[in-house]
Amino acid sequence: MVYPKPVWPIFGELAAILCGVLESNKPFKTGNSVLLGGETVEGIKRRYNALILAHNYQIPEIQEIADYVGDSLELSCKAAESNKDVIVFCGVKFMAETAKILSPEKTILLPAAGAGCPLADKADVEELRKVKSLYPGAAVVCYVNSSAEIKAESDICCTSSNAAAIVNSLEEEEIIFVPDGNLARWVAGQTDKKIIPWEGNCPIHNRVLISDIHRMKKAAPDAEILVHPECSPEVIDAADLAASTSGIIRYSRESDKKRFIIGTEVGILHRLQEQSPEKEFFILSPGLVCPDMKLTADVDMVRNCLENKTPEIDVQEDIRVKAFNAVSKMLEII
């Protein structure tokens, strides 16, 4: 009996050709460079004299095309030091604004125009002025997760990696700490100064519960629990370490332990695993995904943003000048 020639291999070939055509429009990796419509990211960056910065929470493919990946402080330093004309900030708005505050002559691009920060939105300038009038002798320390307007109203800025050092460097004995209440209380435990906390919180870090720590300690007693200081004080007390995102990455790399439970945004796992491939990392709680950080969804967004020079971040000059004082004072101290 003669069987008809199977047709599926033909469809298979057709499908492969079609996928190849579709794939050729997508970025793909060749070694450590990513092709974008035929041009490497390196080529596009050179053409525009651009620098790509990515926060530790960004998705892996964005981290891989970045010149630097880091925490808020490291990225602020890189933005300040850079002699490039254009900075593409793969993060959220307050980060790109901080780069503009430091480098007004540069074009600062934020690939996802809507990438905000609910914690930064918790602080209102009028409200801060009222609190300042209640404590006329107090210094105002603003967490970098704040708007340019709040930075302009503050004496000095800080990030999670230098908050206690910044507070302890000040002459004033009373400190209004805005906008993260959990971070403020964490700093209060590392200083003799009176901290007046603002009651803002990060909705993602607020999802980390003390019951998650108890559950994980039972499930993996050999593992160390590392959390971000935006978590609640009871979570921080029960953890082995509270540190900035890069602090967590450094600590786990240098630790003798082999397993770590991580209480911060899930994007950090990529860098943790890359820096310590022989170790194991688990996320402490469900739902630790920052929707704003994930708005930078693929490499094409970065390419389009560079090609079209939009969305560009700008800061009104009078606000920028005042905010510059707060941010540059921080950079002088650390």
Residue 175 C-beta-side C-alpha neighbours within 13 Å: 32
Please report how close the Cβ of residue 229 comes to ligand 13P at its closest, in angstroms: 8
Instruction: Return the structure tokens found at 232.
Output: 């609640």
Over its C-alpha atoms, the chain yields an Rg (Å, rounded) of: 23
User: In the complex with ligand 13P, which residue's Cβ is closer, 115 or 138?
Assistant: 115
97 binds ligand 13P (CB under 6 A): no
71 binds ligand 13P (CB under 6 A): yes
User: In the complex with ligand 13P, which residue's Cβ is closer, 94 or 324?
Assistant: 94
Number of residues counted as binding ligand 13P (CB under 6 A)? 11
Please identify which residue in 27, 34, 44, 56 interacts with ligand 13P, judged by CB under 6 A.
56
Please report how close the Cβ of residue 215 comes to ligand 13P at its closest, in angstroms: 23
Q: How many CB atoms lie within 10 A of CB 40?
A: 16
182 binds ligand 13P (CB under 6 A): no
Chain residues 187-226 in contact with ligand 13P, contact rule CB under 6 A? 202
159 binds ligand 13P (CB under 6 A): yes
Residue 70 sits at φ, ψ, to 5 deg, of -170, -170
Give residues with Cβ within 8 angstroms of 194, minimum separation 6.
173, 174, 175
Please identify which residue in 103, 160, 182, 296 interacts with ligand 13P, judged by CB under 6 A.
160
CA-based diameter of the chain, in Å?
A: 99
Q: Pairing between strand 33-36 and 28-30?
A: antiparallel
Q: Distance of alpha carbon 67 from its chain centroid, rounded?
A: 15
User: In the complex with ligand 13P, which residue's Cβ is closer, 36 or 94?
Assistant: 94
Kind plus residue range of the DSSP H or E element containing 225: strand 224-227
145 binds ligand 13P (CB under 6 A): yes
242 binds ligand 13P (CB under 6 A): no
Region of 38 on the Ramachandran plot (φ > 0 left; ψ -120 to 50 alpha; else beta) = left
Q: Which residues bind ligand 13P (CB under 6 A)?
A: 56, 71-72, 145, 159-160, 202, 228, 230, 244-245
